[in-house]
Structure 1
Amino acid sequence: MKSTDLAQRKPDTAVDTLYVRYDGEALRTHEMDVKQLAPALLSLAKAFDIMQKDVAPEARVRLNAQATREGSFTIDLLLHFVNEAEGLLTGDGVTAVLNASGLMAIYFGAVRLIKRFAMHAKPAKSEDAGQDENGLDLVDITFPDGSRMRELKASVDALRNPELVKAVKGVFAPTLEDGIDLVQFQSGTRDETVRTEEADAISHYDPDARESSEDTVEIVIQALDVSFRENGKWRITDGIKTQFVTIEDEQFKKRVLDGDEAMRANDIYRVDMRVEKSLDENNRLMTRYVSIVRVHEHRSIGEQLTLF
């Protein structure tokens, strides 16, 4: 039975459609089995299930997925209410009737917020901002740099749930594999893309992280690939872990762009690296490379006989 038929038969069932697209060289060259994306779709279903239980515990949610082409899926979100009373959101002043579009809006808001939070942007202030077209509460969020976002309060609350954060990370996880560069979500006028470097930052995001600090250390790294696009990041390894970092050394970037310094993937660098340290909920130390402050020395891998 088609989801649209189900919606027509059950007046207490709301339906919305989400389009999910993974993209990258591995998909364009048919080198990745679509079945490898199955865990990501299960994580997506888990994310919606968690959100539904948080904001409308008496409702039931179901996702029906259909592959449209390699790496792309059309997903019908069905939200079923047993009766009208159970379709009411309760708690914290929320009084609107939740529909599938409202739940979809909460998901898109959570995606936008986790991208921002993962880039070390913690809100400095939050203020009530009325309600959206679905009657869901809005908040204006101000960040330390003065920038602002208006999002659903339910989206903010959702990211306080470690299980929801874990599920969302699972949705983005395929973009951390070689050959997959991004995942795009579309639903109506909503459109949000998570790229590999953003997914990498999100993979290290911990909503329960406590104290955090930054330090600068000198280390030797290998650049697996490099980018000088706006906000572009390098994918680097220190021989133990691989992640994305930004490059702050403007003089080095100028030398490269002016052609005074040639660089290729897998070159070796001695750099000053900005490192973030924090304690997780179990008081275990976590470290994450944030940015390259200065490039001291650069050697081509073809010339490399010994490390610095």
Structure 2
Amino acid sequence: MPSQPRHRGASFFLAPCSAGFLVAFFNQWNIHIRMNTAQFSIYFDGPALREGTMDVRDLAPAMLALGDMLEHANRVVNGPEVTVSVRVKGFPRGCFGVSFETVQGFMSQFVEMLSPGSKVHSALEILNLLGLNPVTIGTGLILLLKKAKGRRPKKATPIEHNRVVLTFQDEDIEVPAEVAELYGDNDVRTALNKALEPLRGEGIDKIFVKDGAQQVELVSAYEAQFFVPQEIDPIPLEIDETPQIRYFSIISLSFKEDNKWKLSDGSQPIHVTITDQKFLDEVNSGSRSFAKGDMLKIKLVTRQSQTKQGLKTEYEATKILEHTRPGRQMYLPLMQ
């Protein structure tokens, strides 16, 4: 490529050019950027597919799930600034197969330029990390899940060279750090599990990719059971759980066993579990009544945990210190 003329100033804009790629003018230089692409093919095989046809109700969800998996995997290893799209290339003959093209948005290359030291994983590298590239199939997420056989690791230990050791009940498995991140991402795991759904029907034995003329098996019908995401217990997060003295108005009461009352601190409502047994006994016996606008002074403990759905925050009132009725003591300051 011939050297590019220098431009004065530090302008930045994008424009189409005749070669079919984009030209970016940034910080006095012309930078030519091509879209980052990688191709892969997935083949389904089994007695039900010998004539090269497949029920669309099986194929369509699997194709959509593959696209979701690649998008989520890109988010995990590259962050939200870099985007990928997955396109169907065509249907080759023989065993029923689908060819895909993974296209990474051109902004990925600007992320590296604008964030020194950052590393954007290419579309091909993402296929490698997932285990969809037949050349590097022994290093990705799919092989890890097959080795794990549905077990959950007891701990994950980072080691040198950007790798992680996952400790299971009876063995250690060493993987790239990015593969460990993909393993721990619920969206990636859920999409991968959906993509394997055709294996759970009758007449489809395996999914494979090709390295030239050689078939490389990805997952068998038997192994599909190992890809179902496990139920994950909430993981407590380390925060300051020292009780705080707070005032809340009562929005609604609860007489169920969990005793979660809906309270408001004046800005937003929260559900609080009442564990002050003396206060609950008074409520249940009828010796304590409530009216609209009642206010409680409580000792509040806040706990947070990470769940499969995301961050969860729980509130517990360990002690009810004061119950104030509306219209009373309005002209006195709140006593601490």
Length-normalised TM-score, structure 1: 0.55
State the 1:118 CA deviation.
Answer: 3.7
| Cα separation, partners in 2 of 1:167 and 1:186, compared to 1, 3 Å | farther
Q: How many residues align?
A: 198
Question: Match of 1:68, SS?
Answer: coil
1:196 aligns with 2:227: no
**Per-residue Cα deviation, 1:222-245 (whole angstroms, up to 9, x for no partner):** xxxxxxxxxxxxxxxxxxxxxxxx
Task: Find runs of 4+ consecutive structure 1 residues off by over 4 angstroms.
Answer: 87-90, 186-192
| Cα separation, partners in 2 of 1:17 and 1:161, compared to 1, 3 Å | same
Query: Aligned ranges for residues 260-271 of structure 1 at < 5 Å?
Result: none
Pick from 190, 214, 218 the counterpart of residue 166 of structure 1: 190
Residues 115 and 198, structure 1, Cα contact 8 Å, conserved in 2: yes
Question: Match of 2:219, SS?
Answer: strand
The AA in structure 1 aligned to 2:37 is: V
State the 1:58 CA deviation.
Answer: 1.2
Pick from 68, 74, 88 the counterpart of residue 99 of structure 2: 74
1:62 aligns with 2:85: yes
> What CA distance in whole angstroms lies between the structure 1 residues aligned with 2:42 and 2:114?
27
What is the alpha-carbon root mean square deviation over aligned residues?
A: 3.5
The AA in structure 2 aligned to 1:63 is: V
Pick from 138, 151, 154 the counterpart of residue 120 of structure 1: 151
Which has the greater radius of gyration? 2
> What CA distance in whole angstroms lies between the structure 1 residues aligned with 2:56 and 2:173?
35
The AA in structure 2 aligned to 1:201 is: F
**Per-residue Cα deviation, 1:24-55 (whole angstroms, up to 9, x for no partner):** 00001456335631110100000111112222
> What CA distance in whole angstroms lies between the structure 2 residues aligned with 1:167 and 1:144?
26
Q: What residue in structure 1 maps to residue 42 of structure 2? A: 20
| Cα separation, partners in 2 of 1:124 and 1:182, compared to 1, 3 Å | same
| Cα separation, partners in 2 of 1:32 and 1:13, compared to 1, 3 Å | closer
| Cα separation, partners in 2 of 1:117 and 1:89, compared to 1, 3 Å | farther
The AA in structure 2 aligned to 1:49 is: E
> What CA distance in whole angstroms lies between the structure 2 residues aligned with 1:39 and 1:176?
13
Higher relative contact order (CA 8 A, sep 6+): 1
| Cα separation, partners in 2 of 1:83 and 1:158, compared to 1, 3 Å | closer
**Per-residue Cα deviation, 1:250-295 (whole angstroms, up to 9, x for no partner):** xxxxxxxxxxxxxxxxxxxxxxxxxxxxxx969xxxxxxxxxxxxx
1:179 aligns with 2:219: no
| Cα separation, partners in 2 of 1:86 and 1:95, compared to 1, 3 Å | closer
| Structure 2: gaps spanning 5 or more residues | 1-18, 23-32, 132-139, 236-306, 310-336
Over the matched positions of the two proteins, sequence identity in percent amounts to 21
Question: Match of 1:98, SS?
Answer: coil
| Structure 1: gaps spanning 5 or more residues | 1-6, 131-136, 212-279, 283-308
Residues 89 and 97, structure 1, Cα contact 8 Å, conserved in 2: no
